[in-house]
Amino acid sequence: MLRDKKGVTLGLLVVAIILMFIIFGVTMSAGTDLIRNSEKNRLMTNLYLIRSRAATLLEDYLFDGTNESLEKLGEQATSAQVSEVGFNEESSCEYIYCVWNESKLAEQGIDTENVASTESFIIQYNITKDTVDVASTKGYETEDSIIYILSELEEN
């Protein structure tokens, strides 16, 4: 005769634990992706703001062409800083490379709350094409490389 068995069997308990691990794994993966995307979006937002302000300064420089407006573009970047972020430093005179640090960002009215204290930005001014590109010294780390330049981040 069969009697009514009440309670949880060992097999049911194992299945429940396995399901919990699967749900936990999916949740952690989704959370990690959200954090990585928020880091990329934060960096891209900062780079867009800086590029916009730098483009305005470039327009001012191209309009009056004075040394005063040239100084407003930023402090001259070294060759090491330019190559560190992946810009191909051209020997021609069509590019001007400048560094913006936290104090330059504040001077330009850009909120530095979302900028790391050790992070600076390299601005590439193309004075013949009237274009600006920006790179972060911190960059965005992908699975196989680190992307520093805004135009390369936009491609990803």
d(CA 129, CA 152): 19
Q: What pLDDT was estimated at residue 148?
A: 93
| Residue 60 located in a structural domain | yes
| Residue 3 located in a structural domain | no
Q: Answer positive or negative: Cα dihedral of 122, 128, 129, 130.
A: positive
d(CA 5, CA 126): 80
| Residue 2 located in a structural domain | no
For the chain, the domain total comes to 1
d(CA 132, CA 50): 10
| Residue 135 located in a structural domain | yes
Q: What pLDDT was estimated at residue 4?
A: 67
| Residue 5 located in a structural domain | no
| Residue 113 located in a structural domain | yes
Q: Which residues of the chain have pLDDT under 50?
A: none
For the chain, what is the largest distance between any 2 Cα atoms, rounded to a whole number of angstroms?
A: 102
Range of the domain at 17: 10-155
